[in-house]
Structure 1
């Protein structure tokens, strides 16, 4: 049975196999057929729909089937009072899917005389001014380009005003504290993945309802904030689609992959981005080519995987905490150390606690772009006795503790030194570097600022240059692409050092709401990470290491 021309067309594209839909959009079709198809209490205003589409295609760009489908529901009304059926719209598409372009068309039309409601002001809200003004800037440029539009609208860099209706299209940032009392007809919230709660949303929509047919549009791609505003909207969307909430409380149009594995099939990318459906426009083909290049680059730069899945495929990993590398990649560090005698290197250490572990290391590079890390750890006997049964020899509990970290075995291999003292003496750390200096050219010592008020004078007494990283967390996100790519390409060599592989496997990569990565511990006490953190400190200055140059005492002019 016919629903509405553009709605019928879109559903037919799916039913005839011309487009591929994800689960949420399949549920949306069923939702429409269940609640709207035979509902004699609602109607589509075809005049407004046709005028909006014609307006968009004449002044902006050709509209695709999914965009026309969405416009139809903007102008779905109750017969009894001519009020809009859907006040709230949730539009989620992969990056590049034309969300902002569609919103620009709809907004420009709604403030115009073609819509015909006076003072129907529209605000677009985002966390940053740059993002918020995207659609307003697009409308401004469109008006300035066409003389006919200049007779209908007055456009500046901050707002577009209809001369007939006096309606204003403008932008705001999401600093909700100063936005009380607005009299908008519609509000658009962009990049909603960044909202931690609905506090700012409530402020911006508080003025709605003072004009007829108020609308709220929530648009964006998924992000890294979990259990925030967007997750609650997605949860509500599923309840609406499954009939567990009032059917017209939200119109959800959610495009995403159904499963992570689908990212490996470009034919399925249109699930996340309907702009990629065949036949493609020049813009859509260019977008597809760009996404395909990004996908191919993941092989060499896997650190962008989360960004690709979240922003392009609109499918963030629910668990954004993960290991720094796969175990296979960590195992690949078990390669024979090249000859390092007299080679230049960066000394590095992590000395977060003087009562349990401290890790020292030397970072080298070679002509094959490998990062070679020679490491040694110092551990307190009392700590390893308590947590790893270092001194005990029997019982199942001891076996289990030794499985966590076989300290005595690693000691026998020369990978660590056990210190039987109340604390690890800073001079013990410095002395290790003094001994290493007899064999290698140590350019400088790099460490974070923790305990360095004690260590730095001792290092400088021995003639070492010391660089202190004042904000070690900040460098994690900076170095993550290089480190993860190096692991993926098997460019890291720890040699026969199972302790370094243990340190590395204990790392938890935590991604914050802005996509920044931080290297933390998977478990706070027994799964230590000191050696890996020392390696990170060395990587911070890896570019300063000369490659292919030997240093001998005879070369130095005393």
Structure 2
């Protein structure tokens, strides 16, 4: 076993009941005791840990036990080469928990001769310049008000340099003013919930490794970008904690409520924000008062509940009066398709505009499961304007709101470079699908069907037009909600279809009926989901049989 006083103290606080841990921190303790603290090939550099803590408390602010715990693992090393055991650190907890302050202490310390690596340059990266400057400006202001630190650092509005080590700290936006500016020793990514993919991250860590002891820090609270970088980081953290990933792939310190109902007892709030551990510091007392006021305000303004739960309690919740399904239910659609070849399906379509998106689909029914296979078409000009489809990776603005290029590579959509969408693409897709599946009927609402109906019929398809699409929303909403709630909806691994579904706004009308709309009318498309709803209109008409099997039976009968 290896021991470290700040690590042992923090774990002991939990085990004696002095502080509360959420599920992920309980799992962290179990993981550390099972995989890390039993090793004899690693060691805590106690001197460097003490130096960092002393530096932070002398020049910045008093540090809490959880912050000292986190600092300890920044300076956990392999014995054989004195390299950090953890290269990546994930600090993830509720707003107000002091992530930026701790980042300021650690990053500034890494510049100093106490860390002892020359030209150990550091970049602080965020989606906006204001956020990227948060920790930088804290370091800048700390140096500015202390004459002793002014002797140790050259400090300006864009770069802070250690005079002894020549180590520089800069702030950068995630869309990058340069890829290769500094040969960084460490990179810190702030507010990671805003990243839609790992593309920006990869650009900024590409220079790591040229200096000894490279480190990456990922900090933030939860947010509203789903299927993005944060979700993949959380999945990686789970794999580390449950032992299915390399033990030192990531150091995951994750704090949140375990369930939504825990929010009603303020004693549980420390599950999401370790700053609220008792005894409360002066800062924590002020923070608690602020959070209590925000919680009380929810009674009069419940619309802010989603923001409060996501940012303060680090637990995104979905208002089921406004969303089709919870995050977990949407993710549960990611199951492999069963064998579908030869099975009967309802063809369905959403083609409201010739100038942006169109979604085609095949809806199958097997017992209680609804299986939806879909393909979309997107006009290039629309994708360029609203998603940055054609922008080069080096340009300041990249694909935003939806990774169209990534979905195109997966074969989930086709980008069409034409002034308006030629309906023949849609007809051809259904004709191609007919070679594989039993699809003879196409269902769609009345938008554009005056154009498409004759073309479908010329190919031998039967066309069913829904004259009042809002009425079928109310008709099928209970069935659709039940399918999601009981994991009977299958999309295969289709992030585009999950995106469509997540973008749907459910409006409850005064008569209690529900209507499907959009959470945002331009960028957040719902076409694939609307095609699914159209398919529900005729799904009960298909038989749960395999057409090819039926023909095989007929072949064996002697007439």
When normalised by structure 2's length, the TM-score is 0.61
1:99-118 equivalent positions in 2, closer than 5 A: 99-118=99-118
1:11-410 equivalent positions in 2, closer than 5 A: 11-176=11-176, 178-180=178-180, 182-317=182-317, 319=318, 322-323=321-322, 404=475
Q: Does the CA-based 8 Å contact 1:182-1:204 persist in structure 2?
A: no
CA distance in 2, matches of 1:509, 1:182: 43
Alignment coverage as a number of residue pairs: 374
The superposition leaves residues 455-514 of structure 1 with CA deviations (integer Å, 9 ceiling, x where unpaired) of xxxxxxxxxxxxxxxxxxxxxx9xx9xxx9xx9xxxxxxxxxxx75356x32556379x9
The superposition leaves residues 366-411 of structure 1 with CA deviations (integer Å, 9 ceiling, x where unpaired) of xxxxxxxxxxxxx99xx9996679xxxxxxxxxx989839xxxxxx
Provide the secondary structure at the position in 2 that maps to 1:38: coil
Q: Does the CA-based 8 Å contact 2:6-2:65 persist in structure 1?
A: yes
| Distance change >3 Å, CA 526–CA 15, structure 1 → 2 | same
In structure 1, the partner of 2:373 is none
The superposition leaves residues 343-363 of structure 1 with CA deviations (integer Å, 9 ceiling, x where unpaired) of xxxxxxxxx99xxxxxxxxxx
In structure 2, the partner of 1:535 is none
CA distance in 1, matches of 2:467, 2:165: 74
1:408-557 equivalent positions in 2, closer than 5 A: 500-502=510-512, 505-507=514-516, 510=519
Q: Does the CA-based 8 Å contact 1:154-1:162 persist in structure 2?
A: yes
Shift of 1:207: 0.5
CA distance in 2, matches of 1:526, 1:244: 40
Q: Does the CA-based 8 Å contact 2:121-2:182 persist in structure 1?
A: no
Q: Does the CA-based 8 Å contact 2:309-2:316 persist in structure 1?
A: yes
| Distance change >3 Å, CA 21–CA 508, structure 1 → 2 | farther
CA distance in 2, matches of 1:311, 1:402: 32
Task: Select the structure of larger CA radius of gyration.
Answer: 1
Shift of 1:133: 0.5
CA distance in 1, matches of 2:176, 2:102: 25
Q: Does the CA-based 8 Å contact 1:143-1:155 persist in structure 2?
A: yes
* 4+ aligned runs moved over 3 Å, structure 1: 319-322, 383-389, 400-405, 507-512, 520-527
| Distance change >3 Å, CA 145–CA 8, structure 1 → 2 | same
Provide the secondary structure at the position in 1 that maps to 2:218: strand
The superposition leaves residues 73-98 of structure 1 with CA deviations (integer Å, 9 ceiling, x where unpaired) of 00000000101000001110100000
Shift of 1:31: 1.1
| Distance change >3 Å, CA 177–CA 167, structure 1 → 2 | closer
CA distance in 1, matches of 2:520, 2:314: 16
In structure 2, the partner of 1:539 is none
CA distance in 1, matches of 2:473, 2:24: 49
The superposition leaves residues 138-190 of structure 1 with CA deviations (integer Å, 9 ceiling, x where unpaired) of 00100111111111111112221100000011100011473135300000001
CA distance in 1, matches of 2:12, 2:86: 23
Shift of 1:324: 8.1
CA distance in 2, matches of 1:133, 1:253: 23
| Distance change >3 Å, CA 310–CA 521, structure 1 → 2 | farther
Q: Does the CA-based 8 Å contact 2:2-2:39 persist in structure 1?
A: no
In structure 2, the partner of 1:470 is none
| Distance change >3 Å, CA 525–CA 18, structure 1 → 2 | same
* Structure 2: gaps of 5 or more residues: 325-351, 354-445, 451-463, 477-502, 537-559
Q: Does the CA-based 8 Å contact 1:43-1:78 persist in structure 2?
A: yes
Shift of 1:322: 4.2
| Distance change >3 Å, CA 12–CA 523, structure 1 → 2 | same
Aligned residues: CA RMSD: 3.7
Provide the secondary structure at the position in 2 that maps to 1:71: helix
Provide the secondary structure at the position in 2 that maps to 1:3: coil
Q: Does the CA-based 8 Å contact 1:153-1:162 persist in structure 2?
A: yes
In structure 2, the partner of 1:455 is none
CA distance in 2, matches of 1:402, 1:184: 54
In structure 2, the partner of 1:465 is none
When normalised by structure 1's length, the TM-score is 0.61
Q: Does the CA-based 8 Å contact 2:51-2:114 persist in structure 1?
A: yes
CA distance in 2, matches of 1:174, 1:284: 31
Shift of 1:323: 2.5
The superposition leaves residues 189-209 of structure 1 with CA deviations (integer Å, 9 ceiling, x where unpaired) of 011101111111111001000
Shift of 1:313: 0.5
In structure 1, the partner of 2:460 is none
Shift of 1:35: 1.9
CA distance in 2, matches of 1:321, 1:177: 41
Q: Does the CA-based 8 Å contact 1:324-1:507 persist in structure 2?
A: no
CA distance in 2, matches of 1:240, 1:314: 20
| Distance change >3 Å, CA 321–CA 526, structure 1 → 2 | farther
Shift of 1:264: 1.0
CA distance in 2, matches of 1:260, 1:36: 32
